[in-house]
Amino acid sequence: MSIVLCDPVLQFHRKHIPHLMEWYAANKEKHQLVLHMEFGRPLQKVQGNAVRVAHEMKASHILFTEHDHWGYPIDGLDRLLHHDRDVIGLKTYQRAYPFLPMCWKKIKPELSFLQKERNLRAFHPTQPVEETDLITWAFTLVKTSVFERFQSKGQNPWIWDDFPTDSHFCECCETLGIPRYVCSEGIVCHGDVAPEHLVYWRRMFETIQAASKTPPGIAMPPGDEDHNDGVFYRTEAQVALDAVRVHQQQVMVA
């Protein structure tokens, strides 16, 4: 069993290549990894080429990542293989405030991923493996057989238009009834902020927002709050802004 590692390097991030090479060296022999790295080429072309390589060498999987991720768990691939899903990826997060998880569920399940209406909400997985509607390429393992099914049905995820390839990929999966999963047993860093520092960066931004004259109603983009059924989640920004409103009301009453 061999696995193609797809790494499109569109821009250079100071941590991505050193971290990926360290991870690759530790896992190459164990998982018969074959690195498919291309520099400066369009994302969809590199990803499509990686799938073609996987088909030619009869690889069992393609492991996708992107140029601004790092901190790959050494046993991350072992965990994904253990769960044996057609499509499964490790958890990651947005590279900028509010640093929400980059896994989303549809608000209206009947709508396509390829439409302009805002229809996705980020959520925090509560289980080691949880189904998601949209998943990114941070560290996502896909069975080669998935792309064989795409081809047999005339589905092509490697299109670049107003929607990124992860949206096209998940739309193809949805059309063929292929579920996607996020695994929270490992986390991949995104951008310049490490996971252990997220809370401090979030508090910094929220403190600035709470102290500004920005109307409370637009402190957080609507619909980006955590979205788990039965779980009512309030961001630190919302708590801080509620405290500001209570204080203003007390001043007015006095």
> How do residues 65-91 score in pLDDT, each as one tens digit?
999 999 999 999 999 999 999 999 999
Choose among 215, 48, 31, 24: nearest CA to 147.
Answer: 48
Phi and psi at 119, nearest 5°, equal -140, 15
3-190 has CATH 3.90.550.10 classification: yes
- Please tell me the predicted confidence (pLDDT) of residue 247: 74
Q: Quick one: pLDDT band at residue 233, thresholds 50, 70, 90?
A: very low
Which residue intervals of the chain bear CATH 3.90.550.10? 3-190
Does residue 137 or residue 218 have the better pLDDT? 137
Show the beta-strand stretches assigned E in the chain. 3-9, 33-39, 61-65, 69-70, 87-91, 103-106, 120-122, 129-132, 134-135, 139-143, 180-187, 189-190
pTM for the model? 0.82
Does residue 196 or residue 230 have the better pLDDT? 196
Choose among 48, 34, 60: nearest CA to 151.
Answer: 48
**Average pLDDT rounded to a whole number, residues 212-236:** 45
Residue type, 21: M
- Is the pLDDT reported for residue 242 higher than 50? yes
**pLDDT tens per residue across span 146-162:** 999 999 999 999 998 99
Q: Quick one: pLDDT band at residue 235, thresholds 50, 70, 90?
A: low
Q: Is residue 97 exposed (0-12), middle (13-18) or buried (19+ Cβ within 10 Å)?
A: middle
- 20-34, 55-69, 119-133, 223-237: the lowest-pLDDT one: 223-237
Structure tokens at 9: 């390097």
To which H or E segment does residue 26 belong?
helix 16-31
